[in-house]
Chain A
Amino acid sequence: MDRSDPLLTGKAKAFSVKSDFAHWGVLYGVSGLFALICAVFLISIVVSSLPAWRHSGLSIIYGTTWSQGTDSFGALPIIAGTLATTAIALVFAIPIGLGSALAIVHLLPVKARIFASSLVELLAAVPSVVYGLWGLLVLAPWFENTVQPALADLSGHHFPFPPPYEGVGLLLAGCVLFVMILPMIVALSRDAIAIVPREQFEGALSVGATKWQVLRKVVLPAAKTGIVGAVTLATARALGETVAVALVIGLNPLFPHSLFSTASTLASTIALQFQDATPLQVSALGALAVILMALTAIVNWLGRRLIRRSATKAALL
């Protein structure tokens, strides 16, 4: 018997891989090109921000004055605005999105389910600039004339709803983001909920659990990974949304002092101040981009951690 036969020595696969050098050369070459583009991309963003870090140091992160005219770059109010708009959006979008996803999968009759699903999916594809346009031209006047005075009456014209009513601002940006990420949360968590086997749902019902008990104890835990993933994606999108927010935030680089006040976010500041920026100011906007990238990375990391923890818990049970 020939001992060097690749089939016997278990090297058959390695042999066949090497034999098609051209094929694997193309695969490695093109994927390498993609990796190279990504590397240049990350490096260029970081390097473009270096002059600003040299100019202001870490006070870019904790400084409280952002003024392009005087070259003072303190992005804390902008970071606060970013986190605040995202938080407003999530506070509304998570319960309403999850509730809708549960309703679509487990409450609606089949035909209505298909209709609602496709509507939500199509809306998830609507470009964000259209949400911004709607926020600016429809929602902002309505907020200014109806919603904000009503809310202010409720709170007796004190915090968090003091005048003036400008329409645009923190609350409006949060609401536009909410409407924008809602279809995404509904569509993704619906997928996660729908793949929980129907038998588990019916089995739990048949031993006497009520619908809510089944949803809480069987469906939601089983779909947790997918739901956390959906929320993570939506959060990252809300943090980084540029044009929709830029249209409705009112771009004001001061600390938002109420829900009505105009504010600014990292991405919208980059978008709106890029045009007439000096090289140093462009670099400061690059520093904002680095901060934004770090925020997105933190959100992704938290999401992954949550998923992993729930997975280990499930493994222990």
Chain B
Amino acid sequence: MSTAVIEGIPEDPMLERRELIQRVAQKTLQRRMLASRAVVGLCGLALVIALVPLFAILYSLVQKGIRWWSIDFFTKTPQFPSLVDPNAVGGIANALIGSLVIDGLAALFAIPIGIVTGLFLAESSSKFAAALRWTAEIMTGLPSILLGIFAYQMLVVGFHEWGIRLPGIGFSGLAGSFAIGILMIPVIIKASENALRSVPFTIREGALALGARDGVVARRVIIPTALPGLITAVLLALSRAVGETAPILWVIGASNIVAWDPRHEMASMPLYIFLSATSPYTSLREETWGIALALVVVVLIINLGSRLIAARLQRERR
């Protein structure tokens, strides 16, 4: 870089030094820019690498799953392929209904406990509440297979090996609902506490100032205001619960007939996937894609629903 020398003005005595500094700066700048470009490139590459398997899964699901979808697929019960008809695999009606009943009952049991405990955590600042919040946190991180063992010990065999002799209810949808429900509760607690806490304090104080008791404030003011958030919380927990396999693995019995009565053995979609993925029949293994696609669609619908409600809530807040 050259500085034009104007007549009458003496030449810059520091010129040489400045140029040296500029040269060095230029060099480090180049180095820094190079490093930066490299890392930015690597980040982009990481994103591409991350998206490849994710797209591959979606592609396999749709490509291999959609051709199994038919009226029969959703309305018939499974059937083992025979030599005469190796492609006869029947349908998944038992798994659909089983999932519906098990997860529905689980929700019935988990929603009130989850939301009321969430309300308690949002309202109380006691030590018990802090301990409970910590417990809920731990419970969400625990492997879900542990809940399966618990449900098995408590409901299926009724602790009978320990001499307690609870009336065990045997392999049944009810035991599965219990395990799934316990899985849902901490998720609902966490999300609903956040939703209930975000109700502006002014509204709460306004109601209190009018002489409303805590219970009335909670029932008439806080819960209605936070309702969309609560619905999001429940749907989020449900979308996780529908796909859980481990807790129900050894407690629901995996029956092949349509059963509406949760006191009996039932089937469920994720369990059905797990069992037929390892089936010796090729056609049964392939059919698994059809069920997997159905399960993913159900989960995504619930999940999208919760997101739409959350997004709408945010728009209204603004």
A residues with a Cβ closer than 8 A to B are 16-17, 19-20, 22-24, 26-28, 30-31, 33-35, 37-38, 40-41, 44-45, 47-48, 95-100, 102-104, 107-108, 116, 119-123, 125-134, 136-138, 179, 182-183, 186, 210-213, 215, 233, 236-237, 239-243, 246-247, 267, 270-271, 274-275, 279, 285-286, 289, 292-293, 296-297, 300
Q: Which of A26, A31, A179, A296 gathers the greatest number of chain B CB atoms within 10 Å?
A: A31
Within 8 A of A (CB), among B25-44: 32-33, 35-36, 38-40, 42-44
Tell me which of B54, B142, B185 contacts A123 (CB under 8 A). Answer: B54
**Chain B interface category by residue count:** 35 or more
- With both chains docked as a complex, state the minimum distance between the C-beta of A268 and any C-beta of chain B, in angstroms: 9
| Proximity bits, B217-253, A CB within 8 Å = 1, else 0 | 0100000000000000000000110111110011000
CB distance from A144 to the nearest CB of B (A): 16
Rounded to whole angstroms, the CA-CA distance of A182 and B303 in the bound complex is 18
Known: A16-B208, A285-B149. A211 touches B36 (CB 8 A): yes
- Bound together, the chains give a CA A276 to CA B39 distance in angstroms of 53
In the complex, A123 Cα to B49 Cα: how many Å?
15
Would you call B40 and A300 a contact (CB within 8 A)?
no
The answer to whether residues A126 and B57 also contact, given A23-B218, A212-B35 and a CB cut-off of 8 A, is yes
Distance between B281 CB and nearest chain A CB, rounded to angstroms: 13
Kindly list 11 other residue pairs between chains A and B, CB separation below 8 angstroms, not including A130-B61, A246-B274, A270-B149.
A31-B129, A100-B47, A104-B47, A126-B296, A127-B244, A130-B296, A137-B288, A242-B145, A274-B249, A275-B250, A289-B146
Asked, given contacts A30-B112, A131-B57, A212-B40, whether A271 binds B246 with beta carbons under 8 Å apart, the answer is yes
B185 touches A97 (CB 8 A): no
Residues in B180-231 with C-beta less than 8 Å from chain A: 182, 185, 189, 208, 213-215, 218
Q: From DSSP, what is the main secondary structure of chain A's interface residues?
A: helix
Task: Assess whether A130 is in contact with B273, with CB atoms less than 8 Å apart.
Answer: yes
Could you name 25 residue pairs across A and B whose Cβ atoms are closer than 8 Å? Answer: A20-B214, A26-B116, A34-B113, A41-B146, A44-B154, A47-B162, A96-B50, A97-B50, A103-B44, A103-B47, A107-B43, A125-B299, A125-B300, A127-B270, A129-B245, A129-B295, A130-B295, A133-B292, A136-B277, A210-B36, A212-B39, A240-B144, A242-B245, A243-B245, A286-B149
Contact pick for A38, options B139, B162, B215, B292, CB 8 Å: B139
Please measure, in the bound complex, the distance between the C-alpha atom of A306 and the C-alpha atom of B44, giving whole angstroms. 28
CB–CB B299/A127 < 8 A:
yes
